[in-house]
Structure 1
């Protein structure tokens, strides 16, 4: 229920849905309230420009990336017992010639790559966490295990294949790792997602060592002409940032 509710909310208040609603309101108001219609139209144009501006996207994403990258000396000093890698989606990859065309997404692959690096530095066992939304889908944890073995020659110690969101990932991971007397973990996820993930895993009793990857907000936000030129990447990153703000607000209320 949470999954469908939050996706319905996102469709309404995130771009391009919110911009479309403003345009739609302008269209219906133009015959009766022309002044208000013009204001709606102007607001939608301004908002769309802001959402396509690199300066805005870099600022928003940077505000979400609360945890810096781990240094190798920090990795060596941390007293973790396992590495937990969270899934970040799936994609269609029929080019591999397998019966099932789905594989891990680019975001998930980034997380797996860094998790594999941490494993090479520490030798710690890996738990892969990711479930499925549709009953017919292969759990994301299984896709991650396949990629980890195929691409990095590493076998995961455990798979958590039931979690549909970060909260369920944490709850189910606790069940698996508590049975192994593991309470201290490196937690691997995308940098902008890390703060929410840390909070929910700590609620489950874990001592969490944040191991963020795939940073998007490290680029300079200094004055530059290109920071004001609309771009597709900026639209995507602004969408990601606003979606994460909604996710944090929802988790604050829900959990």
Structure 2
């Protein structure tokens, strides 16, 4: 999904736009309508910032493909890891790899390989938009995987993709190159429903089966405490915003395939 559109319809942006429109209505003399809209915008922002709503939205996504230990995962021909987990070095100010919140993806890929679940590991992740001079994330993931015991000879790198759709489009050739017919798709549990839908749509007719191998669960097993469930906080707002993005992406895939 287009990142600009996703940001435009995030709870925070919708609340800001609603507040601005409310001010405009009051300025034009529609005071009551403006006040109602302002209350709706503020109430929506408060609700989206509560741990209860953030957890509820995240659970609705993560329970679709819950993570399982590497040893309990099915056998496949290749493990396909999506970017969004690591940041490549940006010397001289940032000479080291940056481990993001989704770095579990790389760890889980290594665990799957060491457990003998697949012979190949395909890494899909390019440079962030506007940072074309930075090494692609696939190279950063490969560096970490080598340190975790995955040999370079078992890895294939795709370093041009910038979003989930490009992950699928550009990695298909590598999957075919290694002769894989069954692929374990590794990404965060929150992102898995959308990623799986995109990959299944792109891989349709290729003879390659995509099997979810989720990791990085945030909501599962982490139900908010009753006494704080309705107290807004910045983390919950960010969490809700990511969930909204995932659902919008799922809707986009559905519209494109129906």
Q: TM bucket by the smaller chain? A: 0.7 to 0.9
Q: Do 2:197 and 2:253's aligned partners in 1 also have CA atoms closer than 8 Å?
A: no
CA distance in 2, matches of 1:242, 1:28: 27
**Alignment check: 8 A CA contact 2:88 2:135 kept:** no
Give the aligned partner of residue 12 of structure 1.
8
Shift of 1:219: 3.6
Q: Residue 126 of structure 1 is aligned with which of 121, 139, 145?
A: 121
Contact 1:88 1:105 in 2 (8 A): no
* Alignment match, 2:247: 245
TM-score computed with the length of structure 1 as normaliser = 0.86
Q: CA deviation at 1:56?
A: 0.2
Match of 1:70 among 68, 71, 74: 68
Instruction: Tell me by how many angstroms 1:100 deviates.
Output: 6.2
Q: How far apart, CA to CA, are the structure 1 residues paired with 2:185 and 2:24?
A: 49
CA displacement at 1:199 relative to structure 2 = 2.3
1:236 pairs, out of 222, 235, 238, with 238
Unaligned stretches of 5+ residues in structure 1: none
Q: Following superposition of structure 1 onto structure 2, how do residues 22-61 of structure 1 map, counting pairs within 5 Å?
A: 22-31=18-27, 32-61=29-58
1:142–1:161 Cα contact (<8 Å) kept: yes
Stretch of structure 1 that moved more, 173-182 or 153-162? 153-162
In 1, the alpha carbon distance for the partners of 2:223 and 2:19 equals 30
Asked if 1:165 is matched to 2:159, the reply is no
1:85–1:188 contact (8 Å) kept in structure 2: yes
The alpha-carbon deviation at position 92 of structure 1 amounts to 7.4
Q: 1:196 corresponds to which residue?
A: 194
Cα distance, 1:61 vs. partner?
0.5
TM-score when normalising by structure 2: 0.85
- Give the whole-Å Cα distance in 1 for the aligned partners of 2:88 and 2:70: 34
The one of 127, 142, 153 aligned to 1:145: 142
Partner of 1:106: 100
- Relative to its length, the structure with more helix (as a share) is 1
For the Cα contact (< 8 Å) 1:23–1:44, is it kept in 2? yes
Q: Distance in 1 between matches of 2:230 and 2:210?
A: 38
Q: C-alpha separation between the residues in 2 aligned to 1:74 and 1:251?
A: 30
Report the alpha carbon displacement of residue 107 of structure 1 after superposing the two structures with TM. 3.5
Once the two structures are overlaid, the 10-residue window that deviates more, 219-228 or 58-67, is 219-228
Count of aligned pairs between the two proteins? 246
For structure 2, the 5+ residue unaligned runs are none
Shift of 1:145: 1.4
CA RMSD of aligned residues (A): 2.4
Superposed, which structure 2 residues align to 1:90-105 within 5 Å? Answer: 90-91=86-87, 101=95, 103-105=97-99
Secondary structure, in 3 states, of the residue corresponding to 2:242? Answer: helix
Note the C-alpha offset of 1:89.
Answer: 5.1
Deviation, 1:79, is 3.0
